[in-house]
Amino acid sequence: MSKPIIAVVGRPNVGKSTLFNKLIGHRLSIVEDTPGVTRDRIYAECEWLNKEVMLVDTGGIEPKTDDIILSQMRRQAQIAIDSADVIILVTDIKTGVTATDQDIAMMLQKSGKPIVLCVNKCDAPGQVPADFYEFYNLGLGDPIAVSSVHGHGTGDLLDECFKHIDFDRPEEYTEEYIKVAIIGKPNVGKSSLVNKIAGEERMIVSDIAGTTRDSTDTIVDDERGKFVFIDTAGIRRKSRVDENIERYSVLRSYMAVDRSDVCVILIDAVEGFTEQDSKIAGYAHEQGKACIIAVNKWDAVEKHGKTMQEYEKKLQNDFSFMSYAPFLFISAKTGQRLDKLFELIKYVNEQNCMRISTGKLNDILAYATARVQPPTDKGKRLKIYYITQASTRPPTFVSFVNKAELYHFSYQRYIENQIRETFGLQGTPIRMITRQRG
Ligand code: GDP
Ligand code: GDP
93 lines ligand 1 (CB under 6 A): no
- Give whole-number Cα distances, 155 to 96, 149, 152, 302, 368, in Å: 23, 14, 8, 58, 49
Q: Which fold has domain 178-353?
A: Rossmann fold (3.40.50)
The tens place of each residue's pLDDT in the chain, 438 residues long, gives 689 999 999 999 999 999 999 999 865 544 445 666 677 778 999 999 999 999 999 988 877 666 667 888 888 888 888 889 999 999 999 999 999 999 999 999 999 999 999 999 999 988 888 899 999 999 999 999 999 999 999 999 999 999 999 998 888 888 899 999 999 988 899 988 998 988 765 666 555 544 444 557 888 988 999 999 987 754 444 455 565 577 888 888 999 999 999 999 999 999 999 988 998 999 999 999 999 999 999 999 999 989 999 999 999 999 999 999 999 999 999 999 999 999 999 999 999 999 999 999 999 999 999 999 999 998 899 999 999 999 999 999 999 999 999 999 999 999 999 999 999 999 999 999 999 986
59 lines ligand 2 (CB under 6 A): no
| Helix axes of 99-111 and 70-83: crossing angle, nearest 10 degrees | 30
| Helix axes of 409-423 and 358-371: crossing angle, nearest 10 degrees | 120
- Domain 5-164 homologous superfamily, CATH: P-loop containing nucleotide triphosphate hydrolases (3.40.50.300)
Nearest CA to ligand 2 atom 17: 189
Backbone angles phi, psi at 54, to 5 degrees: -105, 140
Longest alpha-carbon distance in the chain: 76
Ligand 1 probe mutation, 9, 11, 18, 120, most atoms within 8 A of CB: 18
253 neighbors 289 (Cβ within 8 angstroms): no
CA distance 14 to 119: 9
Whether 5-164 and 358-436 share one fold: the answer is no
C-alpha 299 chain-centroid distance:
30
406 neighbors 382 (Cβ within 8 angstroms): yes
Is residue 185 annotated as involved in ligand binding?
yes
Ligand 2 probe mutation, 192, 230, 231, 303, most atoms within 8 A of CB: 192
Please name the residues in contact with 117: beta carbons below 8 A apart, sequence gap of 6 or more.
Answer: 88, 89, 91, 105, 135, 138, 140, 141, 142, 143, 144
CA distance 211 to 259: 17
Strands of 5-10's sheet, edge to edge?
43-48, 51-57, 5-10, 86-92, 115-120, 144-145
Q: Domain boundaries in the chain? A: 5-164, 178-353, 358-436
pTM of the predicted protein model? 0.89
Note whether ipTM > 0.90 here: yes
Q: 147: CA distance to ligand 1 center in Å?
A: 9
16 lines ligand 1 (CB under 6 A): yes
**Amino acid at residue number 409:** F
Question: What's residue 257's pLDDT?
Answer: 94
CA distance 430 to 419: 10
Nearest CA to ligand 1 atom 14: 13
CA distance 366 to 341: 37
- Domain 358-436 homologous superfamily, CATH: K homology (KH) domain (3.30.300.20)
Q: Which residues pair with residue 225 across a beta bridge?
A: 222
Q: Please report the sign of the dihedral spanned by the C-alpha atoms of residue 111, residue 62, residue 267, residue 336.
A: positive
Backbone angles phi, psi at 85, to 5 degrees: -85, -35
Local structure of 171: helix, strand or coil: coil
Nearest CA to ligand 1 atom 10: 13
